[in-house]
Amino acid sequence: MSDKVMVVTGGSRGIGAATARLAAKRGYGVVVNYLGNVAAAEAVCADIHAHGGEAVAVRGDVGREEDVEHIFRAADRMGPLGALINNAGMIAPASRLDAMEPGRMAEILRVNTLGALLCAAAAVRRMSSRHDGKGGGIVNVTSAAAKLGGAGSYLDYAASKGALDTITVGLALEVAGEGIRVNGVRPGIIDTEFHAQGGEPDRAQRLAASIPMERAGTAEEVAQVILWLLSDEASYVTGTTVSVTGGRALFT
């Protein structure tokens, strides 16, 4: 049993995997959720175990209510939930809106937005003082795309993340008096496998020169901010989103 447990959705790769590893070092028992890549999820857990930490890989689609219950029941078996990282996300190849398949729009909104809502609801039912919980933190992994708009390429994805920004604000206010802080991180261009799903595996390299800091970010740099937002050092921070963009897309 861990005395504080974190659910990381999409914890098998990229930003989620880096967050799971760092959280374990900070003493969390970690539920490493994944969708299909069991080998990657097991590798993250093996790494955590090798460093003396506690982690379990749990398959589940965050956009399906029954899967979300399965993920959080696994967390319950580890100990009291203290944190949720709404990190799982998907994108599709670049397209103008008038050429997009409606099915892909629905899928992106289902996973990125409905998934975050379902997971946040499950976390609040466990962490809120209203439900006899001990409080905790939620961090939503949004995107610079929410501010840029995704014109000509990823409008559906950008919209799904804009909704996530609204969830950060609204839920923070809803549970501020119940011991739960809700914040977001806004990655810019981070060097992960995510861009391959968007149809451009070399996107991070291609755009590096256009970023004010002249490089893509790393998953670990995003994870550090996520863990800071959950820490006591951020004890009076709620309802805000921190950009981790190397200076790109600064609107907040």
Using CB under 6 A as the criterion, which residues of the chain lie in contact with ligand NAP when the complex forms?
A: 9-10, 12-16, 33-37, 40, 61-63, 87-90, 111, 115, 141, 143, 187, 189-190, 192-194, 197, 219
Q: Least distance in Å: CB of 89 to ligand NAP?
A: 2
- Cβ 72 vs Cβ 120: under 8 Å: no
Nearer to ligand NAP, 111 or 138 (CB): 111
Nearer to ligand NAP, 12 or 128 (CB): 12
Q: Least distance in Å: CB of 126 to ligand NAP?
A: 19
Nearer to ligand NAP, 87 or 128 (CB): 87
CA angle 59, 61, 66 (to 5 degrees): 95
Tokens of 117: 């809502």
Q: What is the spatial distance between Cα 50 and Cα 188, in angstroms, rounded to a whole number? A: 31
Tokens of 38: 């069991």
Q: Least distance in Å: CB of 73 to ligand NAP?
A: 16
- Identify the DSSP state of 92: -
Q: For the stretch 3-14, what's the b/e string if a residue is b when 16 or more beta carbons lie within 10 angstroms of its beta carbon? A: ebbbbbbbbbbb
Q: H or E segment at 141?
A: strand 136-141
Q: Least distance in Å: CB of 52 to ligand NAP?
A: 23
Residues marked as catalytic: 157
Nearer to ligand NAP, 143 or 238 (CB): 143
- Which residues have CB under 8 Å from 5's CB, separation 6+? 28, 29, 30, 31, 75, 78, 79, 80, 81, 82, 83
Nearer to ligand NAP, 178 or 191 (CB): 191
Q: Least distance in Å: CB of 127 to ligand NAP?
A: 20
